[in-house]
């Protein structure tokens, strides 16, 4: 071997070292659920922004005041007010806030101020070992789905899909929060039907896709964000899972494409139950040739012959469930409800 080839091969070998090390650090490490430590009033909670920037500072004030009204003291992330393009600072800044909140022993929960876009960019920068060693609740939804999926896949930690810091803290959401976090109840997630002067109740109705009951581990979140993680080490195994999904601002043909992704990667064949929440502003554009959501679920979910329903109070609507991602649940598709079957703390 001549000197040039030797140096070339040596260089290639050294160049692979950090890549190999990184690959080892991001492989899913556990299938067992890791329980966060309980939360109580008076605790410190950390407010972070892993995704998009908050347009006005008053929104951060609202988030702090809401968390204080819930009974907590709030530590704001060092980079909470940063901005880079549409993002709340650089990837490293946003990741460092999440890492610091998990590593800080005084912080008992991590609250995401908003979603938007960009959380997936920081997944390789999260300190999963620190998260595993300091299990605490993480709360958020929409783009925060990326964190829920990655943290569960990498550590087994149960996180919580629910209102962001700047979200709606109406009576329904506050009650959900208190039942899950403070009272630590085995919550039944059943839609709150709203009666009006209409002859028929239309608000928050559920629709059965396929009847039946099932039990499994709950995973899911925003369909767009979740499907974009396909092929990465940041999605957990779908075996024996109850999958919940929601979305916003996506025409049905895009929902169809993303459901195709889940089918092609084999995820749908593994799940034991399916729950779809809201698809806010997902009406098809004008003209012929558009599938509707009913047809999409008939194509992808109905043939599975597993308990499935749609219309659950999950997603981009004022009232929403607080769901334990990685928790054990049972579901009844015909009656449009599901419930926790074991404690999550």
Summarize pLDDT for 171-198 with one digit per residue, the tens: 999 999 999 999 999 999 999 988 888 8
Contacts of 203 (CB under 8 A, 6+ apart): 193, 194, 196
Same-domain status, 213 and 83: no
How far apart CA 94 and CA 91 sit, in angstroms, is 5
Same-domain status, 97 and 130: yes
pLDDT of residue 284: 83
Same-domain status, 216 and 130: no
Is 142 among the catalytic positions? yes
3-state SS assignment for residue 128: helix
Structural domain includes residue 5: no
Number of domains in the chain: 2
Distances (CA, A) of 224 to 54, 144, 228, 246, 321: 21, 11, 6, 9, 19
Residues of the chain with pLDDT under 50: 1-25
* Catalytic pick among 49, 51, 96, 142: 142
Q: What count of Cα atoms within 13 Å lies in the side-chain half-sphere of residue 223?
A: 31
Tokens of 233: 């080490």
Same-domain status, 238 and 302: yes
Whole-model pTM above 0.75? yes
Structural domain includes residue 281: yes
Same-domain status, 330 and 206: yes
Same-domain status, 231 and 276: yes
pLDDT of residue 196: 83
User: Could you write out the DSSP letters of every residue in 28-52?
Assistant: ---SS-BPPPP--TT-EEEEE-SSB
How far apart CA 90 and CA 295 sit, in angstroms, is 41
How far apart CA 74 and CA 65 sit, in angstroms, is 9
The DSSP bridge pattern shows strands 73-76 and 138-140 to be unpaired
* Catalytic pick among 51, 161, 227, 316: 316
pLDDT of residue 12: 42
Same-domain status, 328 and 196: yes
E-strand stretches of 141-272: 159-161, 188-190, 207-210, 213-222, 241-248
* Catalytic pick among 100, 148, 227, 246: 246
3-state SS assignment for residue 300: helix
Which residue segment(s) compose the domain that 93 sits in? 44-170
CATH code: domain of residue 161: 3.40.50.10740
pLDDT of residue 19: 36
How far apart CA 233 and CA 301 sit, in angstroms, is 25
Same-domain status, 219 and 283: yes
Structural domain includes residue 315: yes
Is 86 among the catalytic positions? no
Structural domain includes residue 119: yes
pLDDT of residue 28: 53
Question: What is the DSSP code (8-state) at residue 239?
Answer: T
Q: What count of Cα atoms within 13 Å lies in the side-chain half-sphere of residue 60?
A: 19
Summarize pLDDT for 263-279 with one digit per residue, the tens: 999 999 999 999 999 99
Structural domain includes residue 180: no
Contacts of 144 (CB under 8 A, 6+ apart): 50, 51, 112, 115, 119, 138, 161, 164, 221
Same-domain status, 206 and 164: no
How far apart CA 218 and CA 212 sit, in angstroms, is 17
Tokens of 245: 């999904």
Structural domain includes residue 17: no
In the chain, count of helices (H) and strands (E)? 9, 14
């Amino acid at each position: 071997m001549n000197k040039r080839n030797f140096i070339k091969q040596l260089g290639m070998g050294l160049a692979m070292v950090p890549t190999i090390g990184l690959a080892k650090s991001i492989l899913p490490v556990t299938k067992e659920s890791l329980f966060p430590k309980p939360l109580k009033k008076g605790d410190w909670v950390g407010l972070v922004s892993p995704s998009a920037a908050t347009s006005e500072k008053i929104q951060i004030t609202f988030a702090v005041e809401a968390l204080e009204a819930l009974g907590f003291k709030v530590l704001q992330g060092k980079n909470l007010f940063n901005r880079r393009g549409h993002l709340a600072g650089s990837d490293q800044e946003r990741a460092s806030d999440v890492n610091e909140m998990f590593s800080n022993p005084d912080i008992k929960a991590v609250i995401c101020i908003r979603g938007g876009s960009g959380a997936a960019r920081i997944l390789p920068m999260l300190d999963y070992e620190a998260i595993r060693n300091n299990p605490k609740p993480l709360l958020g939804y929409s783009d925060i789905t990326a964190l829920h999926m990655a943290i569960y896949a990498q550590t087994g930690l149960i996180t919580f899909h629910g209102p962001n810091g700047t979200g709606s803290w109406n009576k329904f959401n506050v009650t959900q929060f208190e039942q899950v976090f403070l009272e630590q109840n085995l919550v039944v997630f059943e839609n709150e039907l709203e009666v009006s002067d209409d002859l028929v109740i239309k608000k928050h109705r559920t629709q059965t896709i396929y009847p039946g009951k099932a039990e499994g581990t709950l995973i899911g979140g925003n369909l767009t964000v979740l499907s974009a993680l396909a092929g990465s080490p940041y999605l957990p195994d779908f075996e024996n899972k109850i999958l919940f999904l929601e979305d916003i601002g996506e025409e049905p043909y895009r929902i169809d494409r993303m459901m195709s992704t889940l089918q092609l990667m084999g995820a749908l064949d593994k799940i034991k139950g399916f729950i779809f929440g809201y698809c806010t502003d997902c009406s098809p554009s004008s003209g012929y040739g558009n599938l509707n959501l009913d047809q999409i679920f008939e194509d992808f979910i109905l043939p599975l012959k597993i308990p499935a329903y749609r219309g659950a109070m999950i997603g981009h609507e004022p009232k929403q469930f607080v769901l334990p991602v990685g928790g054990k649940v049972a579901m009844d598709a015909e009656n449009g409800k599901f419930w926790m079957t074991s404690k999550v703390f």
